[in-house]
Amino acid sequence: MRFTNTNPLLLALTAATAVNAHTLFTNFFVDNVPQGDGTCVRMSNNIQEATYPIRPIGAVTSEDMACGVNGKNGVSRVCGANAGSKLTFEFRDWPDATQPGSIDISHKGPCSVYMKKVDNAITDPAVGDGWFKIFEQDYDSAAGKWCTEKLIPNNGHLSVNIPKDLAPGYYLVRPELLALHQADKSPADPQFYVACAQVFVTSSGKAAPKDTVSIPGYVHMTDPAMTFNIWQTPMKLPFPQFGPPTYTGSSAKRTLDVRTSQTKQTLGLKPANCIIENNNWCGFPLPSSSDEGSCWASSSNCWDQAKTCYNSAGPTGSKNCHNWEDYCTSVNNACKSGNFHGPPSPDKYLPAKPALLTNSGVTGESQGSSSGSSSDSSSGSSTGSTTSAAVVSSPKPSSPKGKGGVKGGSVDTCGSNGGLTCATGLCCSSHGYCGTNNDYCGSGCQSAFGECHSSYKTKRSHKQHHVGHPHVRR
């Protein structure tokens, strides 16, 4: 048995982690229970650029604003939740979690969460009217942090409760990060990071918010928020809001006839005989065998499933495909050794059950309270919960000077993010931005493109994966 890299998608997976990362919504939890990497999540199918913001610059009218690149296409699974359940979204700058991190410290800005009721969470294209906001948090003056900064010490976790009075049915849930570190440029470059979860909400409620918007269409480049200067001292707070008001239990709403609503999930359920999952793929029991022919048929079935697993693996990687591959190898070896009665049990090759979430991260109430969902108009301080982490002072990335000539990229980027060198005295962070504190000068600092703390003079290397699809050899 051997693997060969012949599939273009698999080759892309091999190089997926060799690109400069921004951030990506990769997975989520329902009441602290993990749903699995990529499971029920619409995300980019452009693996090498999956962590990029919506492009081109200023493309707030792009259909990608709804659920991201490839976001019009649903996935096969829909995850269940109850009205009032806590949803926790995880953002990573390395989607397959081969290295830690959620978003670069320079990418400061607000967070929001939107929902849209749909008839079919798998086939609905997401684009258009019907979106309503259930969470919003921008700059917290008390903590001295933007919402995106709070994600960093909380493992990229953003939590919000589903409104308790929503009518049951299928929904798309869209967490949104807006990084404003280049919004003051010309042209302005507000960076949106979005993807969508497919969810079925079980509820006794009947409400549907009236204040819905179209995505794209809910924001325009002429809105003050799109050019807000986070580097100005002092900042001109409060942050200018955009989009609809945040829905709470007391917000404007209409009553739906639940007799005509979908009250029980029938689409996107996890198959009962699913042994192992990767992204939205399931591995199923192999046909039994009792002689050489049926043994090799069982082995072939296993490898066919492994190929499907690898081909369907997205930005979050193929970790459990490797587990299934090991199982297939054991089946193959049994056939080769003459042990035709099987197949062997897959139990020893199954991954450990994911742990429950213990840190909910940045949170906000969406039902019956304005906490975390609006900003204090007098101070510019969000009223949502804050983390206990120390406030990090992060200066504006300085314009780096070219080393040996300008190699391309933005004048505010460095190293692997444009090939430029920071100005004297500044450090080049692992993500390619210039600054002076430990987030820039510490672990992952690129010493070839700026200063680094003496204990961290290493250039970040990128771990690659061996990915291939199998060919059965007897």
Tens digits of per-residue pLDDT, 52-67? Answer: 999 999 999 999 999 9
Alpha-carbon distance values, 165 to 136, 160, 176, 211, 237 (Å): 19, 15, 23, 15, 33
DSSP state, 368? S
- Determine the average pLDDT of the residues in 463-473: 33
- Determine the average pLDDT of the residues in 88-117: 96
What confidence score (pLDDT) does residue 436 get?
76
Between 410 and 292, the higher pLDDT residue: 292
Q: Are 117 and 78 in contact (CB under 8 A)?
A: no
The string of DSSP codes covering 136-187 is EE-EETTTTEEHHHHHGGGTTEEEEEPPTTBPSEEEEEEEEEEE-TTTTSSS
Q: Are 42 and 68 in contact (CB under 8 A)?
A: yes
Residue range 438-455, pLDDT digits in tens: 767 877 788 888 888 744
Are residues 295 and 238 located together in one domain of the fold?
Answer: no
Element holding 14 (H helix, E strand)? helix 8-14
The answer to whether position 326 is within a domain reads yes
What confidence score (pLDDT) does residue 424 get?
84
Q: Is the pLDDT of residue 135 over 90?
A: yes
Alpha-carbon distance values, 37 to 126, 155, 316 (Å): 21, 15, 6
Task: Report pTM.
Answer: 0.78
Q: Are 117 and 38 in contact (CB under 8 A)?
A: no
Q: Is the pLDDT of residue 17 over 60?
A: no
The answer to whether position 368 is within a domain reads no
Domain of 232, in residue numbers: 16-255
Sort strands 157-161 and 276-278 into parallel, antiparallel or unpaired: unpaired
Are residues 250 and 118 located together in one domain of the fold?
Answer: yes
Which residue reads 């390395």 in tokens?
Answer: 94
What confidence score (pLDDT) does residue 359 get?
74
The answer to whether position 284 is within a domain reads yes
With CA atoms as reference, report the closest residue to 74 among 117, 41, 115: 41
Buried/exposed code over 369-383 (b: 16+ C-beta within 10 A; e: otherwise) = bbbbbbbeeeebbbb
The answer to whether position 324 is within a domain reads yes
Are residues 215 and 292 located together in one domain of the fold?
Answer: no
With CA atoms as reference, report the closest residue to 207 among 251, 239, 170: 251
Element holding 306 (H helix, E strand)? helix 292-312
The answer to whether position 386 is within a domain reads no
- Crossing angle of helices 319-336 and 292-312, in 10° steps, is 170
Spatial separation of the C-alpha atoms in residues 382 and 267, rounded to whole Å: 38
Residues 6+ apart with CB under 8 A from 86: 29, 30, 31, 32, 159, 160, 161, 162, 360
Q: Are 439 and 394 in contact (CB under 8 A)?
A: yes
Residue range 222-277, pLDDT digits in tens: 999 999 999 999 999 999 999 999 998 878 888 887 777 789 999 999 999 999 99
**Angle at 418 (CA atoms; ends 416, 424), nearest 5 degrees:** 85
Are residues 214 and 283 located together in one domain of the fold?
Answer: no
With CA atoms as reference, report the closest residue to 283 among 347, 378, 379, 187: 347
DSSP state, 391? P
The answer to whether position 31 is within a domain reads yes
What confidence score (pLDDT) does residue 417 get?
64
Alpha-carbon distance values, 226 to 106, 134, 137, 139, 179 (Å): 17, 21, 16, 15, 10
Q: How confident is the model at residue 468 (pLDDT cuts 50, 70, 90)?
A: very low
What confidence score (pLDDT) does residue 12 get?
42
Residue range 179-237, pLDDT digits in tens: 999 999 999 999 999 999 999 999 999 999 999 999 999 999 999 999 999 999 999 99
**Where does a domain end: 225, 255, 285?**
255
What confidence score (pLDDT) does residue 386 get?
31
Are residues 137 and 242 located together in one domain of the fold?
Answer: yes
What confidence score (pLDDT) does residue 37 get?
97
Are residues 250 and 290 located together in one domain of the fold?
Answer: no
**Amino acid identity, position 243:** G
Alpha-carbon distance values, 4 to 219, 311, 316, 432, 444 (Å): 46, 13, 21, 34, 32
What confidence score (pLDDT) does residue 364 get?
62
Q: How confident is the model at residue 411 (pLDDT cuts 50, 70, 90)?
A: very low
Between 162 and 405, the higher pLDDT residue: 162
Are residues 208 and 154 located together in one domain of the fold?
Answer: yes
With CA atoms as reference, report the closest residue to 249 among 364, 363, 113, 134: 134
At 203, which CATH number? 2.70.50.70
The answer to whether position 50 is within a domain reads yes
Between 141 and 249, the higher pLDDT residue: 141
Are residues 44 and 86 located together in one domain of the fold?
Answer: yes
Residue range 364-408, pLDDT digits in tens: 644 333 333 333 333 333 333 333 233 223 333 333 333 322 233
What confidence score (pLDDT) does residue 160 get?
97
What confidence score (pLDDT) does residue 21 get?
53
Between 17 and 464, the higher pLDDT residue: 17
Radius of gyration of the chain (CA): 24
**Where does a domain end: 224, 255, 286?**
255
Q: Is the pLDDT of residue 304 over 60?
A: yes
The chain-wide mean pLDDT, for the chain, equals 83
Between 463 and 211, the higher pLDDT residue: 211
With CA atoms as reference, report the closest residue to 195 among 97, 359, 316, 80: 316
Q: Is the pLDDT of residue 43 over 70?
A: yes
What confidence score (pLDDT) does residue 418 get?
65
Are residues 249 and 288 located together in one domain of the fold?
Answer: no
Are residues 30 and 160 located together in one domain of the fold?
Answer: yes
The answer to whether position 434 is within a domain reads yes
Are residues 123 and 204 located together in one domain of the fold?
Answer: yes
Are residues 234 and 137 located together in one domain of the fold?
Answer: yes
Number of compact structural domains in the chain: 3
Q: How confident is the model at residue 70 (pLDDT cuts 50, 70, 90)?
A: very high
**Where does a domain end: 255, 287, 311?**
255
